[in-house]
Amino acid sequence: MSDNFAPHKARKRFGQNFLSDPGVIDRILRSINPAPDDQMVEIGPGQGALTLPLLARNPNLTVVELDRDLVARLELLKQDYRGLRIHQGDALDFDFSRLSEQPESLRIVGNLPYNISTPLIFHLLDYHELIRDMHFMLQKEVVERMAASPGTKSYGRLSVMVQYFCRVDELFGVPPECFHPRPKVDSAIVRLTPHRTLPWPAKNFGCFKKLVNICFQQRRKTLRNSLRLLMSTATIEALNMDVTIRPDHLAVKDFVDLANVLASEQGESQ
């Protein structure tokens, strides 16, 4: 940033770990491949390690930053990049539809604080129709959970909900020494690409979400025991599915099929 400021001390309450490895930054940029006319949005630009090279390729970058001290530093960049738009606030509360109403228009990037990464991903999924793709630095364990397959230890609610909306691509890992201060965990870069057309659309998304939540609240229960909280015994017995398995063995399509049965039983539609 600017030499006029003292070094910024990372704040634990904001989950700040600043990326500092030039090689990793370059690799992220090549993965994103931003074009000058893309509607790029960076969440948590921090000290600008990724912001500056993004601005060099896309001078109309939008950033969302919570830390007021870092916002003051970012404001200085407007001297050279007049198209830079800065929103001070919590990305968890930010209305991304303020940035665009065009489908598939937003390209979102960020080194996300580990303490809010999962709720922020769920928040962004609410805007999936507006988003072309998302590239995030996350805790490696979170990336593995998002990309996990049925029957694996990492597969769970996050896997199902993200894969319902997006294609998930694990790109590469990033070790702790690439940050300051060093986190205690490994990181990874992930690309989330929202489906243009949902491959398995639920009749009622509320039913789907409720079903997935209940099935993974006690993941060691059998599917039959989880479904008893939602469906009649007659409906469960009529299912064309093995209800003695655990829910974590079901694919996304299976959860959608069950949610559609639930919606029909309750007489609900989207």
- Over the chain, what is the mean pLDDT? 90
Q: Which two tokens stand for residue 237?
A: 């017995």
Q: Where are the domains of the chain?
A: 12-194, 205-265
**Which CATH number does the domain 205-265 belong to among 3.30.1330.60, 1.10.8.100, 2.40.10.230, 1.10.10.60?**
1.10.8.100
Give the pLDDT score at 60: 93
pLDDT at residue 155, rounded to an integer: 97
How would residue 17 be classed by pLDDT, with cut points 50, 70 and 90?
A: low
pLDDT at position 112 is: 87
Percent of the chain with pLDDT over 70: 92
More confident residue, 45 or 184: 45
Tokens found for residue 197: 């057309």
Q: Domain 12-194: which CATH class? A: alpha beta
Instruction: Name the band, by pLDDT with cuts 50, 70 and 90, for residue 265.
Output: confident
Average pLDDT over residues 157-166: 98
| Residue 252 pLDDT level (bands cut at 50, 70, 90) | very high
How confident is the model at residue 3, as a pLDDT? 40
Q: Is the pLDDT of residue 150 over 70?
A: yes
pLDDT digits (tens, 9 = 90+) for 25-45: 999 999 999 999 999 999 999
Residue 264, pLDDT > 70, answer yes
pLDDT for position 48: 85
pTM of the model: 0.89
Q: Is the pLDDT of residue 82 over 80?
A: yes
Q: Is the pLDDT of residue 77 over 60?
A: yes
Pairing of strands 85-88, 62-65: parallel
Average the pLDDT over each of 98-102, 180-184, 234-238 and give the range with the smallest value.
180-184
| 142 membership: H or E segment, kind and range | helix 140-147
- Give residue-wise pLDDT tens across range 121-146: 999 999 999 999 999 999 999 999 99
Do 112 and 122 meet the contact criterion of CB atoms below 8 Å apart?
no
